[in-house]
Amino acid sequence: MTLFSKAIAAAWFRGSLAGLVLLVLQGCATAPNTNPRDPWESFNRQVHGFNEGLDEAFVKPVAIAYQDVTPDLLRTGVSNFFGNLSDVWSLVNNVLQLKPKESVEMFARVGVNTTIGLAGLFDVATDFNLEKYNEDFGQTLGRWGVPTGPYLVLPLLGPSTLRDTAALPVNWRGNLIGGVDDSVVRYSLTALRVVDLRAGLLRTSRMIDSAALDKYSFTRDAYLQRRRSLIGLNIFDSNSPPEERFDLPEPGNQNAPGGTSKPPQP
């Protein structure tokens, strides 16, 4: 076993152990007749409320100020720079998921943007029609058959699942910013990345605020649906049945919208 694989295994074990401890600690919060995907809803809503309060008081105003005072070209360069860093970790996870086409394209994408794109400040790879395949270790675990587990809202970090929480230590190891030795530079880059991400979500958050009657439920359902679509069928489950659809007519109901009717018999 290589040093890299040992590090991944050790980090995954620590993350899984932390998730298990959290599961035990929050077991008492599970109530009957709860959503099976969200058995810790009471706890999650409290953390969601804490995160929302912190966002409204600090993170969102900073993101708005950053968007207002920073020129669009500079903000695009910042986003491209951090996107190129994350592409390196996506490349690793595409390799771990045994996706040759995606791995080759991500390798080429990182190489082009790092060199011609001046360390990723310019997204030249997209102009070269090199696709971006975002992957993280939570998706890799899902690809290899690890179940999602219950929905979980983490303080500061927001929506997650038990599987994605267990994958966090490995994702942190894969974060190139975390490898910067100078703590001032490391924390500054981390803060800038958080503000840049939040600024990119301002329009989305306004839409959710105006459209969602229950912001918590809307966020939970959107997150779980997106993670499911990103992971798709895992490598052991190629014959899984398609996802259940509720917009199709029931068998035999020929008058439902979208249904088909048999031609009249002569």
Q: Is residue 217 part of a domain?
A: yes
Q: Is residue 39 part of a domain?
A: yes
pLDDT per 10-residue tile (average), the chain, 266 residues: 46 48 47 80 97 97 97 97 98 98 98 97 96 97 96 97 97 94 96 96 89 89 94 62 39 43 46
> Which pLDDT score, from 0 to 100, does residue 245 have?
35
> Which pLDDT score, from 0 to 100, does residue 209 have?
84
> Which pLDDT score, from 0 to 100, does residue 33 have?
60
Q: What are phi and psi of 154, to 5 degrees?
A: -100, 140
Strand, helix or coil at 158?
Answer: strand
> Which pLDDT score, from 0 to 100, does residue 252 have?
47
201 near 87, Cβ under 8 Å?
Answer: no
Q: Is residue 154 part of a domain?
A: yes
DSSP string, 113-152: HHHTTTTTTS-HHHHTT-------HHHHHHHTT----SEE
Tokens of 77: 């360069």
Q: Domain range holding 138?
A: 7-231
H/E stretch holding 154: strand 151-154
Q: Is residue 36 part of a domain?
A: yes
Q: Is residue 255 part of a domain?
A: no
Q: Is residue 252 part of a domain?
A: no
> Which pLDDT score, from 0 to 100, does residue 159 have?
97
Q: Is residue 261 part of a domain?
A: no
Q: Is residue 254 part of a domain?
A: no
Q: Name every residue whose Cβ is closer than 8 Å to that of residue 179 and which is 6 or more positions away in sequence.
A: none
Our count of domains for the chain comes to 1
As a dihedral over the C-alpha atoms of residue 244, residue 23, residue 25, residue 40, rounded to 10 degrees, the angle is -10
